[in-house]
A and B are shown apart, each in its own frame.
Chain A
Amino acid sequence: MQQAEAAVSSPEQRIPLKKRLTTAAEKHGLILAFFIVVAFFSIASENFLSYKNVMLVLRQVSILGIIAIGMTIVITVGHFDLSVGSLVSLTAVVVISMHDVVGPVPAMLITIVVGLISGAFIGYLVGYLKLNSLIITLGMLVGLQAIVLIYTGGKYTRIVAPDETWFGVIGRGFVFGVPLPVIILGVLLLIFSIILLKTVFGRQVFSVGGNPMASKFSGISDKKIIFMAFLISGALTAIAGIIMGSRLMAAQNYLGQGYEFQVIAGVILGGVSLTGGEGNVFKAFIGILIIGILKNGFLLLGFPYYFQWVAQWIIVVGVVWLDVATKRGKVLG
């Protein structure tokens, strides 16, 4: 008590200021990083903030953004999903090949069912059988890619008459000047944000990820929550695969290769804690957006595309280091 009074009455007001600064950095570090990246590229390139380019970037990140929603939920319950890249390849191939057989709407429904089956399978193994999600989803990464290749025989899949179908609208269309995939992403972000923050299921997600023991004792079925998380991830990845297929009106076998790492890098940048219990789909999206801006910005500045990978390395580790350092108040642990 005396100490507290001493702190308040002491002439040195630096401590509360420093504290205020660190909390600000803790809360808004990501937003700060976002604005620094945006400011840098808008000064360096005059085309960066043009309407056309902004829409381009948004459309590019919309697919990763949708996958990132599912990944955020999976990581929040304390697991990983490395299979999303292969699942994008699979669902894109399925929706394209089914389109010419059964028509667009049934094809999309089948594709979502494929995503749900994959998610349910992983969810069962990880949630109910308690197997390590890293290795299980690695197995799925390899296995689903193989299924794609067996299914197509290694051939390029495409829609035979792309001009005679409305299917391309999903990936290519605009509503009020905004690309449709971006609107889909926005709606999904809103829905899942509400689900996570306002529903019982959402609170259980945070509880299972944050403190598995406590949630077990309070009667929450962690099995069911983990199962649901992977199911959602599978369904959202299928939606991303459909948008991808619709944008290209064709699908190559390795379409989604490496997506899992891009999505995880973005989600981590968005402050989703890898130990579980902490995650926000909007912040995760900003993380994905930063990755997308880096990619776009370096290309606009005339650098080869591979410079973005080195920049990603520096930014991901740098932002997380900043976050960790402000939380413990020390640069090194």
Chain B
Amino acid sequence: MIQRIYTSLKKQPIWLILLGMIFLSSIFVSDFFAFGNFKNVLVQSAVDGMLALGMTFLMINGYFDLSVGTVMGFTAALAIGLQPYGLVVAVVVALLAGAAIGAINGFFVAKAKINAFIVTLGSFIGVRGLIYIYTQEQALVGEVMDFGMFGASDFLGLPTLFVIMFVLMLIAEFVLRKTPHGRNTYAIGGNIEAAENSGIPVDRTIWMNFIICGFTAAIGGVLLASRLNAATPTLGWPDKNLMTIAVVVLGGTSLAGGYGNITRTLGGLFTFGVLYNILNLLGVQSYYNTLITGIVLILVVYIDAHIRKNRVSIG
């Protein structure tokens, strides 16, 4: 058992970094080691976690999606704005809209074979237009109070939003590890030609992963809407998409595809969450938070490249 934990920690150094951070800040940062504070971190990471979940599927597949931030903003606006037609309608339409945008992205990447960067850059900008057209540049406020109550509620002592994200992550990890779709995703990300030659439905798998990514971004949008019980046109603009990629990369999923999993993404998510929390508790001006995020990103890529180099030279 201990051996197993040891090997998995060695494989996923992000959890070691996270544990180190938690350990040090428990000693040196007052108010950090408190249940209330941990709950804060969890509830704040729920939305980002949903976006990162879908992005992990895509990145293992060898692609990424720049539109998740604006899809989140758009679906949050729908989930709030459509409430006069009933809460269920609002949520269902929001989720379908996210999946539909994912399907459009997936069609152009998998079927029309256009570079994913171009396709999702296009929808990143275009969906922002949809948000503004739909909201008419106004902030929307929810009518259904229960929706907001849901976002603030607890389930078994943990924030409900986090529990939802965590359960979905468990399902996602199962899908990646145990189902044909998951295996195909790894195979395509590792070597697309080999996957094609061995009869894996490459186009369909890629398309599916774009739909998953749009759908989870929509879940993120709905969760965010319920936390705020409101939506503004600027939600997720401008760099939510890039920060989501950063969370996944920090967790240790390779940008090149074929490698990674949801557990890593969860580690990356918590590490960013705890980092912001510590900076917040230390009363660091938010400008410095941003600067530190930038430095962390550059360091992560540097360390990642270093590890990969050593791996090659050893093996």
CB-defined interface of A127-159 with B at 8 Å, one 1/0 digit per residue?
A: 001111011101111111111011000100000
Complex contact A321–B114 (CB within 8 A):
yes
Cβ-neighbour of B255 out of A125, A134, A265, A333 (below 8 A): A134
Q: A134-B255, A307-B133, A317-B108 are in contact. Are A125 and B287 (CB under 8 A)?
A: no
CB distance from A226 to the nearest CB of B (A): 15
Complex contact A317–B122 (CB within 8 A):
yes
- Which residues of the partner chain A approach B146 to less than 8 Å between Cβ atoms? none
Q: Interface residues of B: mostly helix, strand, loop or mixed?
A: helix
Within 8 A of B (CB), among A284-317: 304, 306-314, 316-317
- Which residues of the partner chain A approach B121 to less than 8 Å between Cβ atoms? 261, 264-265, 268, 316
- Which residues of the partner chain B approach A261 to less than 8 Å between Cβ atoms? 121, 124-125, 238
- Which residues of the partner chain B approach A142 to less than 8 Å between Cβ atoms? 239, 242, 290-291, 293-294, 297
- Which residues of the partner chain A approach B128 to less than 8 Å between Cβ atoms? 306, 309
Complex contact B126–A314 (CB within 8 A):
yes
Within 8 A of A (CB), among B263-315: 285, 287-291, 293-298, 300-302, 305
Complex contact B238–A324 (CB within 8 A):
no
- Which residues of the partner chain A approach B237 to less than 8 Å between Cβ atoms? 258
Q: Does A257 count as interface, using CB distance less than 8 angstroms? A: yes
- Which residues of the partner chain A approach B126 to less than 8 Å between Cβ atoms? 309-310, 312-314
CB-defined interface of B62-74 with A at 8 Å, one 1/0 digit per residue?
A: 0000000000000
Q: Does A251 count as interface, using CB distance less than 8 angstroms? A: no
Within 8 A of A (CB), among B109-144: 111-115, 117-119, 121-130, 132-133, 137
Residue of B nearest to A144 (CB): B294
Complex contact B124–A324 (CB within 8 A):
no
Q: Does A320 count as interface, using CB distance less than 8 angstroms? A: yes
Q: Does B43 count as interface, using CB distance less than 8 angstroms? A: no
Within 8 A of B (CB), among A50-87: 82
Complex contact A146–B115 (CB within 8 A):
no
Q: Considering the chains assembled together, what is the distance between the CA atoms of A325 and B119 in angstroms?
A: 15
Residue of A nearest to B115 (CB): A274
- Which residues of the partner chain A approach B41 to less than 8 Å between Cβ atoms? none
- Which residues of the partner chain B approach A130 to less than 8 Å between Cβ atoms? 305
CB-defined interface of A262-281 with B at 8 Å, one 1/0 digit per residue?
A: 00110010000011000000
Complex contact A135–B297 (CB within 8 A):
yes
CB distance from A297 to the nearest CB of B (A): 15
- Which residues of the partner chain A approach B114 to less than 8 Å between Cβ atoms? 317, 320-321, 324
- Which residues of the partner chain B approach A147 to less than 8 Å between Cβ atoms? 291
Complex contact B129–A309 (CB within 8 A):
yes
CB-defined interface of A78-109 with B at 8 Å, one 1/0 digit per residue?
A: 00001000000000000000000000000000
Complex contact A333–B242 (CB within 8 A):
no
Q: A138-B245, A258-B238 are in contact. Are A317 and B288 (CB under 8 A)?
A: no
Complex contact A310–B129 (CB within 8 A):
yes
- Which residues of the partner chain B approach A138 to less than 8 Å between Cβ atoms? 239, 242, 245-246, 297
Q: Does A332 count as interface, using CB distance less than 8 angstroms? A: yes
Residue of A nearest to B237 (CB): A258
- Which residues of the partner chain B approach A309 to less than 8 Å between Cβ atoms? 125-126, 128-129, 132
Q: Does B249 count as interface, using CB distance less than 8 angstroms? A: yes
Complex contact A135–B132 (CB within 8 A):
no
Complex contact A307–B129 (CB within 8 A):
yes
Residue of A nearest to B64 (CB): A134
CB distance from A157 to the nearest CB of B (A): 15
Complex contact A312–B125 (CB within 8 A):
yes
Residue of B nearest to A151 (CB): B287
- Which residues of the partner chain A approach B238 to less than 8 Å between Cβ atoms? 257-258, 261
Complex contact A306–B132 (CB within 8 A):
yes
- Which residues of the partner chain B approach A316 to less than 8 Å between Cβ atoms? 118, 121-122, 125
Q: Considering the chains assembled together, what is the distance between the CA atoms of A92 and B294 in angstroms?
A: 20
Q: A142-B293, A142-B297, A261-B125 are in contact. Are A274 and B255 (CB under 8 A)?
A: no
Q: Considering the chains assembled together, what is the distance between the CA atoms of A265 and B119 in angstroms?
A: 10
Complex contact A139–B239 (CB within 8 A):
no
Cβ-neighbour of A131 out of B137, B239, B302 (below 8 A): B302
- Which residues of the partner chain B approach A268 to less than 8 Å between Cβ atoms? 118, 121
Residue of B nearest to A274 (CB): B115
Residue of A nearest to B300 (CB): A135
- Which residues of the partner chain B approach A134 to less than 8 Å between Cβ atoms? 245, 255
Residue of B nearest to A133 (CB): B301
Q: Considering the chains assembled together, what is the distance between the CA atoms of A306 and B138 in angstroms?
A: 13
Complex contact A139–B130 (CB within 8 A):
no
- Which residues of the partner chain A approach B115 to less than 8 Å between Cβ atoms? 274-275, 320
Complex contact B305–A129 (CB within 8 A):
yes
CB distance from B63 to the nearest CB of A (A): 13
Q: Considering the chains assembled together, what is the distance between the CA atoms of A316 and B123 in angstroms?
A: 10
Residue of B nearest to A142 (CB): B294
Complex contact A141–B129 (CB within 8 A):
no
Central interface residue in B126, B294, B297, B305, by most chain A CB within 10 Å: B294
CB distance from B139 to the nearest CB of A (A): 15
Cβ-neighbour of B118 out of A257, A258, A274, A311 (below 8 A): A274
Complex contact A135–B287 (CB within 8 A):
no
Q: A135-B255, A307-B133 are in contact. Are A129 and B113 (CB under 8 A)?
A: no
CB distance from A63 to the nearest CB of B (A): 18
CB distance from A85 to the nearest CB of B (A): 8
Can you list 8 residue pairs at the A/B interface with Cβ under 8 Å? Answer: A82-B242, A142-B242, A144-B294, A268-B121, A304-B132, A309-B129, A312-B122, A313-B126
What is B's interface to A at a CB cutoff of 8 Å? 108, 111-115, 117-119, 121-130, 132-133, 137, 237-239, 242, 245-246, 249, 255, 285, 287-291, 293-298, 300-302, 305
| Given A140-B294, A328-B113, A333-B113; 9 other pairs, CB 8 A cutoff | A125-B298, A131-B305, A143-B290, A146-B288, A258-B238, A268-B118, A314-B126, A317-B114, A321-B112
User: What 8 pairs across the A-B complex have the smallest Cβ distances?
Assistant: A313-B126, A143-B294, A309-B129, A333-B113, A139-B297, A306-B132, A146-B291, A146-B290
